[in-house]
Chains A and B, each alone.
Chain A
Amino acid sequence: MKTSVETAGAVTILHLSGRLDTKGASDLEKEIQTILPSVAKHLLLHLKDVDYVSSSGLRVLLSAAKSLKQQEKSLALAHLQEQVREVFDLTGFSGLFAVFTTIEEGKNGLPEQ
């Protein structure tokens, strides 16, 4: 799992590349722990280059969403690939987060406050 971080106003964008399997989820968990304190309002995960997610990845996303919500912040996702969308639909995760078609829509669609 490769990651890079970008900040755009109240939105911290985490670009991900690779498989969000058991190994990738472990990498992502560490990365999120590192950047969580610096998230202003929203953490937006860019998933364009993630073509596979398993329940290990879902567990990390849920944990991040819970932590952010406690601080009145939010987790959002952009650009889901087919396999990722299917797994989200099968587990009800599609309804847990704001999901945007593209990263640009995410940047523009998340409220400043």
Chain B
Amino acid sequence: MSTPRNLVLDGSGDVHGETRLFIERKLAGLDEKTLNHLLLAVEEFLQNILMHGFAGHEGARKIVIAVERKHGTIVLTIADNGRTFDPRSFPPPDIAADIDHRRPGGLGIHLARKVTDRITYERTNDMNVLTIEKDTP
């Protein structure tokens, strides 16, 4: 069975599990470290969409994930119809703080940016479109 070009989700059920399976199939043969970096970035952005982008969202939810290899780069896009959110505007967390001064949250987007090479964002047709690029070794 061939893997479809895009994965379309409605935000319910096992979103993370389906996404992981889709990406692993599309990127079969990729080295484990690069794959894990991409899976981490996608999980973090997806979780952000599910927790914040769709909070209070009325009507149908839609997330579309696509992944392709372009020469030496993996290009992964996540589009969602949640509220407008540019993750690049998110302030960096204080990673030097001790346990008492740590607040939960804020680390996901930081991690996603650290393990990928380029992230671009645009709002198109009422969708957030995030493009994640990772160069392969």
Contacts and interface: CB of A to CB of B under 8 A. Distances in A.
Interface residues of B, number: 26
B99 A54 contact: no
Interface stretch (B40-48, B62-70, B71-79): B40-48
Contacts, number: 64
Contact of B40 (A54, A82, A96): A54
Contact of B104 (A59, A69, A86, A95): A59
B40 A87 contact: yes
B114 interface: yes
Interface in A67-85: 69, 82-83
Given A54-B44, A90-B114, A62 B99 contact: yes
* Interface of chain A, main secondary structure: helix
Contact of A54 (B97, B102, B108): B108
A10 to B, nearest CB: 20
B99 A23 contact: no
A66 interface: yes
Nearest to A74: B99
Nearest to B48: A55
Contact of B110 (A59, A82, A91): A91
Interface of B: 14, 16-17, 33, 36, 39-40, 43-44, 47, 93, 95-100, 102, 104-105, 107-108, 110-111, 114-115
What 4 A-B pairs have minimum CB-CB distances, sorted nearest first?
Answer: A92-B95, A55-B108, A55-B107, A90-B114
